[in-house]
């Protein structure tokens, strides 16, 4: 088992990637602190872990509030005796979301309010800061450990209508680099994953929506790689578990000398290409040029 004897705290673990990773980490031997702002979702994840023979506790916390994050770490140590892994996974999208992807509300940048801005910063950036800060004393007491953050492909490239979200995720990447330098002397590694595909529709859905447990691509219907814009053509869609497995690598001893890295996951070559479309793409051929006006 890759995480035998380890204790992992995961924020935003009540649904989506956090729920999937909680189950995966537990199957690899870790005890899990399932941290979520929604207590029922957190309990649901704990039930899934326990049904599979794992050990987990549910902790309710809003990562925008530093004291609640401190208390979540304290509850983890009280329950399991230590902390090895702290994953700042909780995140929210900018108001309006990505309309072309999930039918969200179209919100012009200049119409975003200060409250919109503060909300996204509070979860996506301050939440990572608070989680890392609260975890350090426990990790140091344990002789070292791992801090992981969830960034996004939006930290590298632009998506429509989510400038605030993109800014916070780029900030996460910078924080990861800085913390790897500051915390390395304590034996603490700091990394991030940056998913492109294989994430949960719950991320773009209103609060309280039933947990889906599948990726956007999986719920979209029969998978046909020939019409997918992803350069890598596989016979199945990207999944939550694909991202969770990348996270597992970064929190396990298999990546013992990796720190300060933001790893794009499940992009399948998407981030490597230029914006132009070519006839070889098949699914998105460029317009024909006839020379006529």
Q: Give the Cα separation of 218 and 239 in Å (integer).
A: 7
User: What SS3 string covers 134-156?
Assistant: HHHHHHHHCCCEEEEEECCHHHC
Q: Give the Cα separation of 190 and 284 in Å (integer).
A: 38
Contacts of 103 (CB under 8 A, 6+ apart): none
Three-state DSSP state, 7:
strand
Identify which of 175, 152, 149 has the alpha carbon closest to the alpha carbon of residue 98.
Answer: 152
The packing angle between helices 114-121 and 163-183, to 10°, is: 30
Biggest CA-to-CA distance, the chain:
74
216 is catalytic: no
Could you count the other beta carbons within 10 Å of the beta carbon of residue 283? 12
Out of 159, 165, 186, 257, the active site residue is 165
Element (H, E) at 263: strand 262-265
| Cα-based distances in Å from 51 to 14, 48, 85 | 16, 5, 22
Three-state DSSP state, 80:
helix
Q: Give the Cα separation of 172 and 10 in Å (integer).
A: 16
Q: Give the Cα separation of 71 and 265 in Å (integer).
A: 31
Identify which of 4, 13, 67 has the alpha carbon closest to the alpha carbon of residue 39.
Answer: 13
Q: Give the Cα separation of 189 and 181 in Å (integer).
A: 9
Active site residues: 165
């Amino acid at each position: 088992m890759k995480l035998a004897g380890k204790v992992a705290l995961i924020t935003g673990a009540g649904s989506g990637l956090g729920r999937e990773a909680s189950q995966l980490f537990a199957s690899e031997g870790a005890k899990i602190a399932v941290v979520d702002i929604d207590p029922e979702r957190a309990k649901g994840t704990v039930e899934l872990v326990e049904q599979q023979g794992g050990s987990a506790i549910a902790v309710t916390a809003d990562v925008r509030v530093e004291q609640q994050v401190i208390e979540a770490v304290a509850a983890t140590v009280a329950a399991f005796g230590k902390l090895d892994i702290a994953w700042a996974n909780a995140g929210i999208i900018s108001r309006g979301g990505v309309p072309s992807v999930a039918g969200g509300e179209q919100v012009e940048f200049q119409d975003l309010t200060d409250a919109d801005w503060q909300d996204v910063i509070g979860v996506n950036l301050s939440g990572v800061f608070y989680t890392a800060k609260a975890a350090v004393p426990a990790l140091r007491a344990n002789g070292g450990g791992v801090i992981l953050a969830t960034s996004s492909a939006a930290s590298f490239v632009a998506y429509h209508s989510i400038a605030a979200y993109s800014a916070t995720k780029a900030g996460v990447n910078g924080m990861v680099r800085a913390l790897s330098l500051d915390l390395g002397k304590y034996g603490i590694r700091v990394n991030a994953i940056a998913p492109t595909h294989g994430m949960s529709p719950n991320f773009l859905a209103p609060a309280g929506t039933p947990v889906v447990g599948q990726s956007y691509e999986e719920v979209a219907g029969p998978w046909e790689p020939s019409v997918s814009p992803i350069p890598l053509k596989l016979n199945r869609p990207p999944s939550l578990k694909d991202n969770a497995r990348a996270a597992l690598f970064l929190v396990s001893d298999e990546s013992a000398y990796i720190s300060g890295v933001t790893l794009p996951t499940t992009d399948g070559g998407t981030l490597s290409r230029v914006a132009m479309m070519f006839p070889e793409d098949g699914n998105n051929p460029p317009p024909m040029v006839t020379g006529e006006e």
